[in-house]
Amino acid sequence: MRRCMTVDLMLLWAVAGKVVFDQNPLPLPPGPAGLPVIGNLHQLDTSNLSDHLWRLSKRFGPLMSLRLGRIQTLVVSSAEMAKEILKTNDLIFCTRPVLTGQQKFSYNNKDIAFSPYNEHWRQMRKLCTLHLFSSKQVNSFGSVREEEVF
């Protein structure tokens, strides 16, 4: 009886996860079908991931969709498609996904590494470019870099 309830709860959880996480109004590129909670994680050959993704691209095309857990991911496998995405649609794809752990360690996504692309990020980048990564500032730490190398 207990085992039957456990199986029922697991099925209910899987169906609820599919209903909650698969509500994507935008049409996605083709890709392999995944499982409700883990998506396509079980299908990835992590020992040789680049070859595995290349084989998948031969089957699904130069732009394919994978779900890694609950994160929808686009895989680009041609130079033309990468150029189209990075040059034409750069503002759509420039922000990282927001993860809870990352928020805790990055001042609620306010640091330069995890901040979304907006005016705040542009100001931080400008400050870093002008004051931290200027030629004069980089050269001032030359002795430290040499010491680390030797």
Residues 82, 113, single domain; the answer is no
Q: Tell me, what's the pLDDT at 7?
A: 62
Q: What letter does residue 97 receive in the DSSP assignment? A: P
Which range marks the domain in which residue 69 is found?
A: 30-94
State which of 44, 68, 94 marks the end of a domain. 94
**Inside any domain, residue 51:** yes
Taking the C-alpha atoms of residue 126 and residue 4, their distance in angstroms, rounded to an integer, is 60
Chain mean pLDDT for the chain:
83
Q: Tell me, what's the pLDDT at 102?
A: 83
Q: Is the model's pTM score more than 0.85?
A: no
